[in-house]
Every structure is written in C-alpha cells, then in structure tokens.
C-alpha cells in the first residue's frame, strides 16, 4: 500500500478505497483561521453540542491582524471565547501562521487533519494526511461527522539525487508545477519517496506539501522517518513520532521522477504559480519589492538560509524589503541565532508573525511593481496592488534579489549553513506561551461567548425549486480563483463575519457591476470555464453568491473545495456535457430547465442529464450535475445545514 492508502485505511468509516469512489474518513484534528473561523464556529454553535468531538481542534488568528477598527478585534474576541466554551485550543494574534504553528506544535505522523484553509496539507511534510476544506465541513468534523470526499488517485513522486548549492525545496515544487499545471493534481494525492527524500528537512518538505495546493491536489505527503523524528525532538515532541512510509511494492497510479541534482533556481512569473521559468532566464529584471515569509517559506531554516546571503550586504536602495516569521518560535530562534539582527542590519522591515502581505494585508507593492516573494500564490491583485507583478521564489533567491536589485540566481552564492537545532530547542521552551489550552468541560460550560456588532448570523439557503428560468449574471473563463470570486485584502477581510456586507465585493476585482446586477435580478446563474474556484478554501466564495441569489454554477470543471462549498450552501454545481457549449452562452442570457427534483432524488451513481434551454438564443444544451447521491440529497434539502437539521 501507499502511505496515503495506509492512513486512509486506518480512518475510513464508509466507502471503498478505489479512485473516484466517495469515501468518509474519521478526522483526528481540525484547524481554523480567523478569516474562515468565525463563520465555522457560528455554524458549529447551531449543532447544539457542548464540546468538540475531535482529538484536538485549534483556532488560529493569523489573517485579519490589521486592526483598523473594531471589526477584526471583535472577531478575535469571539473566536477566543467560543474556543473556551467548546474545548478548542486558541492561538493568539502574533503567535504565527496556522500551518507553521500546527506543524511545529500539534502535527502527528499518521493522523488526519482537516483545516478551513487550502494550505492545510503543509502538515503532510511530517506524514499527516492533511486536507483543506470549507469552514462548514470543518465545523461538521468538529461535531464528530466523518469527512466525505472522492478517493484520490495516488501519484508517486520519486526524488533522486541531492539539491545543488543555491537550489531549494521551493524549486522542487515549482518544477512540479511547471510540469503539472495548477489543475494537474485534481483528484490526486502527491506522495513523495525515494533516496532524495532523506536530504530534505521537515520544513523543506512542508514547503513542497504546502504548494501542492497550487496543483489542485487533495493533499501531498512525505514519509515519517529519521528527519521527522529529528524535527519533533528539537521541539520537545519526540513522543508523537512513529515511522511511516509506503510499502516497497506500493503501486501508484502514475510515477513522476525528479532528479534533484538537475534543478536550477526557479520563479513562478505573474500571474499564476505554474508560470514557471528559470531565474537565470529572467536575469536582469529590475526588482522593486522583496518579501520573505508566509506559510510556505518562513521556518527558521528558511530565515537562516536568507540571512547567510545577507551577511556583509545591504538591501539595494531601490528595493523595499520585509520579513515575516512564520511563528513566534521561529522568531525567537532567529533572535537567539543572530538571524534577526542580520535582517535588520541589512535593511529589512520586520513584520509580525502572520499571513500579512500574502493576502494583501499590508506591505502592498507600488503600482506596476515587480514584487519578489517567497509566498505560494501570485494571482493578479492578491498582493493588494492590482497592476503589480508577483514572482514566487525561494528564500535564497529572494535575499539575493533584495541585495542586487535585480532578480538574481543565488547559485554559487550561498555560504555553508549552520545547524539551528540548539536555537530551536531554546525557543521551543516558549512555544505554548501564546497558546490558550482548552478548559475542562465543567469550566467550559460556564464561559460566555462575546459577539461584536459586525458578527451576523450565517445566512441559510432556500431549498431548490423543481425548475428555473434565470439570467446569466456573469460569464468567466478558465482558472477563476476564489480570489476572483471573493477578494481578500484589508478592505474586504473585516467583513468575513458579515455576509450581507461582504457580498458587495463578489467578483468586484473582475466585474465591478456584479453586485448591483445580482441584487436587481434577485436570482441568477454563474457560467465559468475549467478549474472554476481554484485557490483558497474560502467558503465565502460560495456563501456570498448564495446570499445574492445564485442558484446554480455551470462550468467546464470545478476545483475540489469550491464544488464542495457550493453543495454545502445549496448551489447546484453543473458541468457542461459538451465543453464547446460554453461558447454559446453570454451574460444576460436566460436559461431554463425543469425536472430538477427527479435528478436530485435519483439514487443511482449517474443521474440523468439535465436539458437546458437558452431562451435568449433558442438553443438547447445538456448538463451533468457534479454531485453523488449523498451530495444530491444535501442539495435537495437546500444545503448541509438544512440537511443536518432534517436528520
């Protein structure tokens, strides 16, 4: 068996482990972050439970940390008090990014983790099966419900050789993105093995599994070996280690071979993580901004590699540079090792331990800037500046570029790195200072939950009708991201707990008239292309359109998490039977269909197709509802909340 199959096999409660089959697995741990967590806990409260039913659940505050007014602060207070009430760990603002802290403090080889953030697979770096999902799915998991998803194919990635000087783990995942594309990993888990694995530390592995989300993968994971044990020992958690790997005769759905010694420093060019080119081929590109950090490259090892590049050098006068450590532990270790001093001396601004610039919360680049970042996404406008071009690189490449003022290949420039173990062990002593543990049940029951005026109840969808005659509110193309549907950034994120307000920003980045058009229509349909809803797990990209009356989304194909979020909120996810039919639909067309109850009530594995009439153009086309029998039952009820209430 593969390692993926072993972990799923030990947690499966429903279904057969055959690719494409719907399975349900027991979830050991959950994580939420403040941009998704408020809504998730509001949903959990409706279940009427006294306490979470997972082995461990953690609520992190790492996204909405700019406190320009009361809104984010109110959300943080709600999250802290609701965590105390229901037996959840609470990670305070400033403690770090959820994925980095979870890897350091809570991750366990062989366990399952469900998180309301698409980069939850970061924990796969130490042998967990970690999956990103919408907040409602995480709320249900906290309530003891198994997580349902399609059994993925397991793609084996065989690593051989060793990385050359100046080449980093970031360059491994960028090479895979270059080969596979942002939709190449749909319905797959990427499982890494081979002689090259032993040369990679857990933080390096976590960089790779983190950006597996950009492949569209369900998850990514590495074996748990001596390097994993070493990582856990340094953080005082050797007791949770166990050796885990695929069997020698494991059968993968397909194999990808990567010779690490053949790799060169790479960069993902604007505006997609799979637009990858060699840094050497981009040499001479003038750089305006450099940012080192995010959940992808902000471990103490990343910081040390960059600091070594900065010794005796200073940030170019035309470059604005900033550092954001991934966790308070990494920040403390960097201070003890003299790394932080090196960044400050070299001219870097020091930001707090949070997501920050990655989601457009501060340190936005100037207009039309070239921003070089160690982050995981470079979607247009995500940085906070619509016309900026973001390049995704390793920490070494970022540091070299900050000094030279040009996008620079660090090959041959990287001095020998030190062992950070002694500094990590010292810093790990303070790892729990910003974590508030769950209260005992008898004390938790006495906790009062605080709710600010910006926190509104989660809207509940309406059950579907047997037919529809609705306008196409918007038509978009391929690879539309959840950032396109529901933007992030300092202007929008404070309304994450206020759906009526945040709905005004739906599609605002690509169609400023959408909200007015949808409001006037009262109900409608969205039409899209391939890989619709890729990127972040944010359920607001389904929840806000539902609030505006969107009844169906018709596309060529869906990204996994977004399709699940649409179903959770009662929006019908349709796929074109003939992809070319997308060409025959325009915004403003009226689409009509009937007999939907027969499709939703059908218990067969493949329900009948839905024939749709484009009344505006007088043409018919066929759709397939992208939902299995249980999903169809949820849609028939009007979404997961109503379906759960009916049970």
Encode pLDDT of 585-610 as tens digits: 999 999 999 999 999 999 988 888 99
Looking at the structure, tell me whether residues 68 and 211 fall in a common domain. Answer: yes
Longest dimension (CA), the chain: 72
My answer on whether 309 and 250 are in the same domain is: no
**Angstrom distances, CA of residue 507 to CA of 188, 470, 496, 539:** 29, 19, 15, 14
Do 376 and 403 belong together in one domain?
yes
Is 435 a domain residue? no
- pTM of the full structure: 0.94
- Do both 342 and 484 map to the same domain? no
Question: Do the beta carbons of residue 554 and residue 525 sit within 8 Å?
Answer: yes
The two tokens of residue 2 are: 């593969």
Length of the chain (residues) = 647
Q: For residue 181, give the nearest of 476, 391, 479 by alpha carbon.
A: 479
In a domain, 448, yes or no: no
Ramachandran angles phi, psi of 229, nearest 5° = -60, -45
* Judgement on whether residues 314 and 221 belong to the same structural domain of the protein: no
Q: What pLDDT does 64 receive? A: 86
pLDDT band at 67 (very low <50, low <70, confident <90, very high): confident
The string of pLDDT tens digits covering residues 206-236 is 999 999 999 999 999 999 999 999 999 999 9
- 310 lies in some domain: yes
Query: How big is the CA angle at 277 (ends 347 and 258), to the nearest 5 degrees?
Result: 105
- Flag whether pLDDT at 499 surpasses 90: yes
CATH number at residue 111: 3.30.499.10
Query: Which of 208, 243, 262 is the C-terminal boundary of a domain?
Result: 262
What is the average per-residue pLDDT within 432-441? 95
pLDDT single digits (tens) 29-63: 999 999 999 999 999 998 999 999 999 999 999 99
Per-residue pLDDT of 249-262, as tens digits, reads: 999 999 999 999 99
Which helix (H) or strand (E) is 323 found in, with range?
strand 320-324
User: Same structural domain for residues 505 and 640?
Assistant: yes
Task: Label residue 103 by pLDDT band (50, 70, 90).
Answer: very high
**Which pLDDT score, from 0 to 100, does residue 604 have?**
87
Domain membership flag for residue 212: yes
Q: What token pair was written down for 124?
A: 């796969």
Starting at the edge strand found earlier in the chain, the sheet holding 389-392 runs 276-278, 266-268, 389-392, 370-373, 289-292, 320-324, 349-351
Pair 632, 517 in one domain: yes
Counted domains in the chain: 3
Please give the pLDDT value at position 68. 83
Q: Do 76 and 160 share a domain, yes or no? A: yes
Domain that holds residue 497: 468-646
**Whole-number percent of the chain with pLDDT over 70:** 99
Of 211, 230, 262, which one is at a domain's C-terminal end?
262
Does 462 reside within a domain?
Answer: no
Looking at the domain assignment, is residue 427 inside a domain? Answer: no
Identify whether residues 90 and 215 lie together within a single domain.
yes
Q: Do residue 372 and residue 514 come from a single domain?
A: no
Among the candidates 232, 262, 292, a domain finishes at 262
Question: Does residue 218 sit in the same domain as residue 327?
Answer: no
Q: What is the mean pLDDT of the chain?
A: 95
Residue 128: the pLDDT is 98
CATH of the domain at 548: 3.20.19.10
Domain assignment present for 444: no
Can you tell me the mean pLDDT for 540-563? 96
412 pLDDT more than 80: no
Q: Answer yes or no: is 442 within a domain.
A: no
Q: Are 238 and 298 found together in one domain?
A: no
* CB neighbour burial string for 56-66, b if at least 16 within 10 angstroms, e if fewer: bbbbbbbbbbb
């Amino acid at each position: 068996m593969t390692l993926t199959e072993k972990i799923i096999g030990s947690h499966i409660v429903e279904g057969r482990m055959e690719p494409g089959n719907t399975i349900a697995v027991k979830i050991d741990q959950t994580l939420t972050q403040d941009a998704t967590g408020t809504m998730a806990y509001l949903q959990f409260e409706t279940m009427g439970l006294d306490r979470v039913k997972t082995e461990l659940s953690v609520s992190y505050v790492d996204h909405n940390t700019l406190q320009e007014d009361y809104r984010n602060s109110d959300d943080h207070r709600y999250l802290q008090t609701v965590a105390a009430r229901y037996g959840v760990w609470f990670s305070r603002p400033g403690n770090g990014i959820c994925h980095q802290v979870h890897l350091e403090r809570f991750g366990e080889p062989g366990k399952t983790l469900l998180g309301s953030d698409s980069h939850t697979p970061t924990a796969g770096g130490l042998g967990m099966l970690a999956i990103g999902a919408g907040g409602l799915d995480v709320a249900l998991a906290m309530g003891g419900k198994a997580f349902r998803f399609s059994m993925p194919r397991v793609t084996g990635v065989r690593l051989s050789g060793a990385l050359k000087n100046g080449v980093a783990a970031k360059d491994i995942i960028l090479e895979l993105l270059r080969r596979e594309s942002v939709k190449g990993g749909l319905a797959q888990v990427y499982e890494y093995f081979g002689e090259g694995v032993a040369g990679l530390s857990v933080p390096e592995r976590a960089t790779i599994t983190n950006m597996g989300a950009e492949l569209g993968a369900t998850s990514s994971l590495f074996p748990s070996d001596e390097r994993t044990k070493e990582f856990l020992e340094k953080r005082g958690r050797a007791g949770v280690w166990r050796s885990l790997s695929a069997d020698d005769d494991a059968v993968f759905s397909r194999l990808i071979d990567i010779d690490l010694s053949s790799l060169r420093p790479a960069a993902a060019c604007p505006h997609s993580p799979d637009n990858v080119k060699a840094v050497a081929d981009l040499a001479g590109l003038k750089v305006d901004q450099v940012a080192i950090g995010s959940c992808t490259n902000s471990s103490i090892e990343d910081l040390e590699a960059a600091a070594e590049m900065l010794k005796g050098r200073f940030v170019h006068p035309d470059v604005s540079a900033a550092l954001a450590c991934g966790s308070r532990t990494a920040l403390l270790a960097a201070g003890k090792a003299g790394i932080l001093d090196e960044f400050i001396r070299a001219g870097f601004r020091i930001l707090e331990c949070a997501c920050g610039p990655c989601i457009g919360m501060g340190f936005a680049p100037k207009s039309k800037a070239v921003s070089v970042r160690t982050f995981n996404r470079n979607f247009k406008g995500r940085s906070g500046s619509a016309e900026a071009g973001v390049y995704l690189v390793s920490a070494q490449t970022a540091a070299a570029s900050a000094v030279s003022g040009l996008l620079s290949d660090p090959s041959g420039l990287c001095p020998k790195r030190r062992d950070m173990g002694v500094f990590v062990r010292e810093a790990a002593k303070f790892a729990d200072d910003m974590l508030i543990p769950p209260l005992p049940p008898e004390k938790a029951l006495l906790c009062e939950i605080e709710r600010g005026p910006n926190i509104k109840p989660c809207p509940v969808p309406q059950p579907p009708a047997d037919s529809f005659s609705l306008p196409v509110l918007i038509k978009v193309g391929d690879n539309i991201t959840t950032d396109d549907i529901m933007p992030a950034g300092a202007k929008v994120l404070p309304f994450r707990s206020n759906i009526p307000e945040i709905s005004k920003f739906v599609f605002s980045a690509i169609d400023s008239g959408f909200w007015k058009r949808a409001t006037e229509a009262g109900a409608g349909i969205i039409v899209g292309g391939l890989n619709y809803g890729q990127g972040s797990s944010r359920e607001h990209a389904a929840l806000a359109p539902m609030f505006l009356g969107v009844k169906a989304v018709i596309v060529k194909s869906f990204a996994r998490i977004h399709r699940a979020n649409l179903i959770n909120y009662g929006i019908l996810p349709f796929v074109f039977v003939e992809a070319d039919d997308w060409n025959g639909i325009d915004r403003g067309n009226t689409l009509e269909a009937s007999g939907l109850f027969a499709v939703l009530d059908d218990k067969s594995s493949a329900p009948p197709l839905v024939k749709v009439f484009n009344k505006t153009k007088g043409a018919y086309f066929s759709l397939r509802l992208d939902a299995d029998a249980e999903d169809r039952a949820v849609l028939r009820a009007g979404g997961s909340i109503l379906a759960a209430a009916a049970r």
